[in-house]
Amino acid sequence: MEDVSAILDNHVLIVALGACFLAQGLKVVVELIQHRKVNLRVLVETGGMPSSHSALVTALACGIGQTLGWSSPMFAATTVFAVIVMYDAAGVRQAAGKQARILNQIIDELFSEKPEFNEDRLKELLGHTPVQVIVGSILGLLISCLAAPAY
């Protein structure tokens, strides 16, 4: 039970997770504004505005910098980790989403006359645009800075 209490006392972790959950919640608001309907599925889907991955890793790195120091090896490690996650979100996963979209289109066109071909469609919204990553990162930075007195 002490372990759970210790985890809940970890302000850096709580703030980073809070930034992630806030970003996921904001996706519902963005979806509502864009499509004029509530879509709760965006709470558990990847991609979308803002990037919750970016918010999470940025808040984590900032929290580490605020608590252990900006010159600490742990801040350096979490910053490198954050850059890799954000690069992956906007680069590799975005490209995989584009490939999935093209493959789905090929399947639709080639097999439209063969309804017995029933393959699951590939998930197309995997990554983020650079703007979604930047907005998520700014959100993580803001949340971490606002929570700084708690550290």
Nearest to residue 51, comparing CAs of 81, 31, 23, 32? 23
Residue 146 in contact with residue 22, Cβ under 8 Å? no
Query: Please, what's the b/e burial string for 119-145 (b: 16 or more CB within 10 A of its CB; e: otherwise)?
Result: eeeeebebbbeeebbbbbbebbbbbbe
Residue 102 counted as domain residue? no
Mean pLDDT of the chain, nearest integer: 85
In one-letter notation, the amino acid at residue 79 is: T
Residue 13 counted as domain residue? yes
Residue 76 counted as domain residue? yes
Task: Count the domains in the chain.
Answer: 1
Q: 82-141, pLDDT tens digit by residue?
A: 999 998 887 776 667 677 777 777 777 766 666 665 566 656 555 678 899 999 999 999
Q: Which domain holds residue 56?
A: 2-91+127-150
Spatial distance between the Cα atoms of 126 and 95, rounded to a whole number of angstroms: 9
Query: Is the pLDDT at 24 greater than 90, yes or no?
Result: yes
> Is the full-model pTM beyond 0.95?
no
* CA geometry: angle 80, 83, 88, nearest 5 deg: 125
Residue 114 counted as domain residue? no
Spatial distance between the Cα atoms of 12 and 15, rounded to a whole number of angstroms: 5
